[in-house]
């Protein structure tokens, strides 16, 4: 049985690809104690390659014990199970997985990556030193929270991109509800709310050329981390960042695969999950303008519908506050 340990405070950066030797070695080790020669033979690789793979697995926080003549044995899984999460991603078609104990921003990292080469990738960090919200705002990203980004190739019209933020919101909110059995809800356009406070947020950024458009989808959820004033975390429930990460990834991949065809159903789900904001008087700040009205849901393009002095207004982007 492997017991849980914390990843050491070293700044770990691990890149795992779908065909990584370390992944094959990890799978072999999960079956039990094996000698270097046994692993090398079964995978058709050299013993040096086995040793290198084991060093890589160790650098991700796992403890692999090796005793002369007794082989290798996986004895401890880190608090964030890097290889298990990477495997989940690869099973959904991801090509590259990155894990950091600390990074400036997982979104910035993937933005740079995509500018070099288009690739389906996921990046997770235990903490961010320059976590970002929308419009250059700061996302406070202390250790203990979930900081996750993924690249997503866009196959729909660009004006349908707000749907990706809303779809991701539905996916993350449902994952949190499932794992924590709590009343997480949505607030337009990108907030995850618990007990009236901000629990998480989504940041979607466009990248690439017109013939190859990608969105970097960034997801931040407060789990056990210290949060800013008026925010909340999931300390009410006993979830680990690793378990939440797996659940969020499963849900996000599933929901994104339903776009664009099942947008109508996703939109309906969004409206249900945003129930606490419907019928409420709100103020929306959008491109230097202020709109006030009763929130009535979202339209087909993802715009917020406001009822104001008997008229319906559609707001396409902005920040929304209760009044």
Angle in degrees, CA 212, 213, 214, rounded to 5: 120
Among 56, 111, 134, 255, binds ligand BT5 (CB under 6 A): 134
Report the nearest approach of ligand BT5 to the CB of residue 41 (Å). Answer: 42
When asked if residue 56 is in the footprint of ligand BT5 (CB under 6 A), the reply is no
Report the nearest approach of ligand BT5 to the CB of residue 280 (Å). Answer: 18
Do strands 96-100 and 121-125 pair parallel, antiparallel, or not at all (unpaired)?
parallel
In the block, residue with structure tokens 């809800």: 185
When asked if residue 151 is in the footprint of ligand BT5 (CB under 6 A), the reply is no
3-state class of 298 per DSSP? strand
When asked if residue 140 is in the footprint of ligand BT5 (CB under 6 A), the reply is yes
Angle in degrees, CA 299, 191, 93, rounded to 5: 85
Site for ligand BT5 in 203-232 (CB under 6 A): 203, 218-220, 222, 227-228, 231
Site for ligand BT5 in 250-309 (CB under 6 A): none
Among 22, 60, 77, 105, binds ligand BT5 (CB under 6 A): 105
When asked if residue 169 is in the footprint of ligand BT5 (CB under 6 A), the reply is no
Total site size for ligand BT5, rule CB under 6 A: 27
Contact 248, 148 (CB under 8 A): yes
**Residue of minimal CB distance from ligand BT5?**
201
User: What CA–CA distances, in Å, run from 130 to 136, 137, 181, 204, 257?
Assistant: 10, 10, 31, 16, 30
Nearer to ligand BT5, 56 or 120 (CB): 120
Among 72, 90, 100, 147, binds ligand BT5 (CB under 6 A): 147
Task: State how far the Cα of 48 lies from the Cα of 12, in Å rounded to an integer.
Answer: 22
Do strands 71-78 and 3-5 pair parallel, antiparallel, or not at all (unpaired)?
parallel
Report the nearest approach of ligand BT5 to the CB of residue 317 (Å). Answer: 11
Report the nearest approach of ligand BT5 to the CB of residue 214 (Å). Answer: 15
- In 3D space, the residue among 150, 149, 179, 171 whose CA is nearest the CA of residue 270 turns out to be 171
| Cis preceding-peptide flag for 189 (omega within 30 of 0) | yes
When asked if residue 318 is in the footprint of ligand BT5 (CB under 6 A), the reply is no
Binding site for ligand BT5 (CB under 6 A): 105-107, 128, 131-134, 137-140, 147-149, 190, 198, 201-203, 218-220, 222, 227-228, 231
């Amino acid at each position: 049985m492997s017991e849980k340990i914390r990843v050491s405070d070293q700044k770990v950066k691990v890149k795992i690809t779908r065909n990584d030797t370390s992944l094959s070695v990890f799978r072999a080790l999960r079956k039990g104690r094996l000698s270097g020669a046994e692993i090398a033979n079964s995978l058709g690789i050299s013993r040096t390659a086995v040793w290198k793979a084991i060093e890589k697995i160790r650098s991700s926080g796992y403890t692999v014990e090796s005793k002369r003549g007794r082989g290798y044995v996986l004895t401890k899984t880190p608090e964030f199970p890097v290889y298990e999460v990477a495997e989940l991603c690869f099973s959904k078609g991801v090509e590259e997985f990155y894990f950091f104990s600390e990074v400036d921003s997982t979104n910035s990292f993937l933005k740079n990556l995509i500018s070099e080469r288009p690739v389906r990738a996921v990046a997770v960090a235990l903490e961010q030193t320059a976590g970002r919200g929308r419009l250059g705002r700061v996302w406070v990203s202390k250790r203990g929270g979930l900081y996750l980004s993924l690249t997503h190739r866009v196959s729909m019209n660009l004006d349908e991109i707000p749907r990706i933020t809303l779809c991701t919101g539905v996916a993350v909110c449902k994952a949190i509800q499932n794992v924590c059995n709590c009343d997480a809800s949505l607030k337009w356009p990108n907030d995850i709310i618990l007990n009236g406070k901000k629990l998480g947020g989504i940041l979607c950024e466009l990248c690439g050329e017109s013939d190859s458009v990608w969105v970097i989808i960034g997801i931040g959820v407060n789990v056990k981390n210290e949060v800013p004033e008026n925010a909340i975390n999931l300390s009410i429930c006993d979830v680990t960042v690793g378990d939440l990460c797996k659940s969020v990834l499963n849900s996000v991949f599933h929901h994104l695969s339903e776009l664009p065809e099942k947008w109508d159903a996703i939109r309906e789900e969004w409206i249900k999950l945003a129930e606490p904001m419907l019928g409420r008087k709100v103020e929306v700040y959008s491109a230097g303008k202020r709109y006030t009205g009763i929130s009535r849901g979202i339209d087909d393009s993802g715009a917020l519908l406001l009822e104001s002095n008997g008229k319906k207004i559609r707001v396409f982007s902005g920040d929304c506050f209760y009044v």
